[in-house]
Amino acid sequence: MSVLSERRALVTGGSRGIGAAIVRRLAADGANVAFTYAASRAPADQLWSEISDRGGTAVPIKADSADAEQVSAAVDEAVSQLGGLDILVNNAGVTSSGNVESVSLEEFDRMLAINVRAVFVAIHCAIPHLGTGSRIITTGSIFADHTLGPGSAVYAMTKAAVAGLTRGLARELGPRGITVNVIQPGATATDANPDTGEFADAMRERTAVGHYGRPEDIASAVAYLASPEAGFITGISWNIDGGFAA
């Protein structure tokens, strides 16, 4: 039996980058996985096809995490399609750099909506479906604790917010046998965060191992927290950062 056999998971923002790696890993470990994508159907279809060809179950769901009603509907659809829910991975997120005085209110609201409100909405809607042994895992950021320099204050604020939410929820849901954790990736090479360029050079210099991580590194941590072995781990912010915070 695979470690996550018959477990049902929803991954938000799951069609690209770290999210797609999480979907692949959970499916490889035996879970039936639904995942959301915001706009482009092609990457979602490609991921669905890849997992289906390997005998797994993947359900693409179109949902913009900036829209609370779409997030709520995505949870309901995942429950309907999978027959229930055991694992919620809040991975959808956006970043925008700029000093506080240059960040528009519209930009601020969008980061808050996707990085914080969508996490709350998904959890709020998922809790009635989660039983003993269920898992809630949110993708945060090492920037919640350590910023590289100016220009990341608002993004860091949103990621610190979900870390605080995680700690509080661990207390609320622990008696029900539900664990709640946040992973905090450091420099991870994706299309949206390439490991080349001036910013990448600065991040690499601060990283103890001297190189960027891969999306699969983050997915491995998520898979462990989703597994039965991690039942005594809750309320943590786990840095997957190559020693950035060391």
Q: How far is CA 101 from the centre of its chain?
A: 28
Residue 22: inside a domain: yes
CA distance 234 to 179: 5
Domain membership of residue 1 (yes or no) is no
Residues 199-204: what's their mean pLDDT?
A: 88
The verdict on residue 2 lying in a domain is: no
- Cβ-contact 57, 27 below 8 angstroms: yes
The total number of structural domains that make up the chain: 1
Residue 133 lies in a domain: yes
Report yes or no on 158 lying in a domain.
Answer: yes
148 confidence band (pLDDT: 50, 70, 90): confident
Contact 71/63 with Cβ under 8 angstroms?
yes
Instruction: Please check whether residue 181 lies inside any domain of the structure.
Output: yes
Is the pLDDT reported for residue 1 higher than 70? no
Cα–Cα distance measured from residue 117 to residue 158, given in angstroms and rounded to the nearest whole number = 10
- For 84-105, the pLDDT digits (tens) are 999 999 999 998 877 888 899 9
Does the residue 245 lie in any domain? no
Structure confidence by residue, pLDDT tens digits, 180-189 = 999 999 999 9
Which CA distances in Å does 226 have to 29, 122, 183, 208? 10, 17, 12, 27
In a domain, 35, yes or no: yes
pTM (2 d.p.): 0.95
Tens digit of pLDDT for each residue in 14-33?
999 999 999 999 999 999 99
Give the domain extent around 92: 8-240
Q: How far apart are CA 65 and CA 95, in angstroms?
A: 14
| CATH code, 100 | 3.40.50.720
Q: Which segments of 29-132 does DSSP mark as H helices, in order?
A: 41-53, 68-82, 105-112, 118-126
The catalytic residue positions are 155
